[in-house]
Chains A and B, each alone.
Chain A
């Protein structure tokens, strides 16, 4: 059995890549089940692209192993792996037309009659009428679909996508996200998608691995990662979070109480990682609501009083508030514009939310981790 016939889950064990003294990928352990849509999410430089290239065979690991099912492919050449890549800049062969670009992989493997397969895949990406054109005559979105078709036609065990939607404008990007998801569901292949765009990852993937400095910070479904982040990095990188430092005050049954700046905040013990000592409690801005100072909050809600609105931005769908708390920190609140009163800057308000929406993280972490806006993530 050659490596080209390898079948099964994609497994990375202890995968490491060092460039001189710089460690790009640090001892990665990961299993991607066959047929899933998996996303590697992280800022630029976090090691996600390097990991992808090691899986495709275009980069040689410094240590660790890669398995496809039971077959080890760690050092196998890329042309001997049943893995195909959709490149960030598409890498379409400029001297071949679309038909020949798409047929390239099949022909190299010795397939004689490629016509039916090429026509079918071009129909799948709706580019059948452009088969005779050259890549330079196509728009960005069309080129991207050709790149996908060229990879897909080989029915690889794993399809790797290296930030393929980066060069497209917003509307087209949204469209392609849905397209790719549809194709994956139809065809049932394993997709591994590398991106820095967290919205994109959450839209398309079944499972997301958030990477930071060569390591995986958290692995799980989009919901898990978003609603119950495991680290401050994940909490800040995926969407926005309000993170407040405090100390675990006590535990009663399955409710943990954390004391922060004179306030008491309750959360389910299942969602609180530290049992005692320093803790960071977090809550997403859209879970929080404002009520005028002194006003009443629903029963059982966590309440933080003494805030002053420092900024109110009307976005249309919602109003985004920044509220300055007595201890100096500014917390974010996103209120849906359901007709409620809008608080002007300077208003004195209290914040309240459902305690089950709170999450608790280990206290020793950097509260700002993952929050910096780097040029790529802000796109």
Chain B
């Protein structure tokens, strides 16, 4: 008996961590599973019978699919905007000296820490008072999305820059590269993975956002808004189909990113 106790003690950390991993993964597994369910009623909560119906007819609800199109469009634009602005800020912070660094740190931290509902409501009052209550819509959503993902881009690109050997740029200058050439040939290729990761993060944050979006969307309906609103009266299996697709794309992305690493280890 004490033998198995010992085994548990020494493997306690592994045990607990596995439990937590299962906790994190369970809803995704359920979501995947239930995308193949044919619900008995309007709510896809209880297993009824296996069916690929939802996958074959993902746009059974036209409203849902148009909300997805809108969400994707917004996410792409917001991704580009926040990545460009955020990368510039990250470079300034990591490669230059300037005044007001503490203030900048706080300013960048606040959007990550603040409750979304406060950012939503304050933006709403801002738009009401500056461009009128009818101005809420596509543009204001994008403004809001760029705003709250900016800080995440900065953190991500900063981390990548921090991991870069600062001597490399000096070596490039030593080897006749002008500042522009140094940036193009040395800095950019090495930072690019970080910039791409930041862009992806920004896309994910945008496509999934509900609270800030609902307060700045006016009459537009994004996918999260559709899900939230329809929750009251129905949860069709198509919702799980969309969620599973997002999950699979994310997992594929992660697997894809690991490929260069695996090739490297194989070759060496």
Shortest beta-carbon distance from B189 to chain A in Å: 5
How many Å lie between the Cα of A87 and that of B177 in the bound state? 16
Number of interchain pairs (Cβ within 8 Å): 62
Question: Does B189 lie within 8 Å of A85, measured CB to CB?
Answer: no
B118 located at the interface, meaning its Cβ lies under 8 Å from any Cβ of chain A in the complex: no
> What residue of chain B has the Cβ atom nearest to residue A78's Cβ?
B173
Shortest beta-carbon distance from B216 to chain A in Å: 41
A-facing residues in B55-78 (Cβ within 8 Å): none
> What residue of chain B has the Cβ atom nearest to residue A84's Cβ?
B174
B-facing residues in A52-109 (Cβ within 8 Å): 56-58, 77-80, 83-85, 87, 89, 91, 93-95, 104-105, 108-109
Question: Does B171 lie within 8 Å of A93, measured CB to CB?
Answer: yes
How many Å lie between the Cα of A166 and that of B186 in the bound state? 25
Residues of B contacting A89 in the complex (Cβ-Cβ under 8 angstroms): 165, 167
Question: Does A104 lie within 8 Å of B190, measured CB to CB?
Answer: no
Question: Does A137 lie within 8 Å of B175, measured CB to CB?
Answer: no
> What residue of chain A has the Cβ atom nearest to residue B165's Cβ?
A91
User: How many chain A residues touch the partner (CB < 8 A)?
Assistant: 24
Query: Is chain A's binding surface mostly helix, strand, loop or mixed?
Result: mixed
A154 located at the interface, meaning its Cβ lies under 8 Å from any Cβ of chain B in the complex: yes
Flag A137-175 by CB within 8 Å of B: 1 or 0 each. Answer: 100000000000011001000000000000000000000
- If A79-B177, A87-B171 touch, does A95 touch B189 (CB 8 Å cutoff)? yes
Question: Does B190 lie within 8 Å of A79, measured CB to CB?
Answer: no
B172 located at the interface, meaning its Cβ lies under 8 Å from any Cβ of chain A in the complex: yes
Shortest beta-carbon distance from B55 to chain A in Å: 41
B181 located at the interface, meaning its Cβ lies under 8 Å from any Cβ of chain A in the complex: yes
Residues of B contacting A94 in the complex (Cβ-Cβ under 8 angstroms): 165, 168, 190
A-facing residues in B176-201 (Cβ within 8 Å): 176-178, 181, 185-186, 189-190
Residues of A contacting B177 in the complex (Cβ-Cβ under 8 angstroms): 79, 104, 108
Residues of B contacting A150 in the complex (Cβ-Cβ under 8 angstroms): 175
Question: Does A79 lie within 8 Å of B173, measured CB to CB?
Answer: yes
How many Å lie between the Cα of A58 and that of B177 in the bound state? 13
Q: Give me 6 A-to-B residue pairs in the complex whose CB atoms sit less than 8 angstroms apart, sorted by A's number.
A: A77-B173, A78-B173, A89-B167, A105-B176, A108-B177, A137-B268
Given A58-B174, A79-B173, 6 more contacts at CB 8 Å? A80-B176, A84-B174, A84-B175, A85-B171, A91-B168, A93-B171
**Chain A interface (Cβ < 8 Å from any Cβ of B):** 56-58, 77-80, 83-85, 87, 89, 91, 93-95, 104-105, 108-109, 137, 150-151, 154
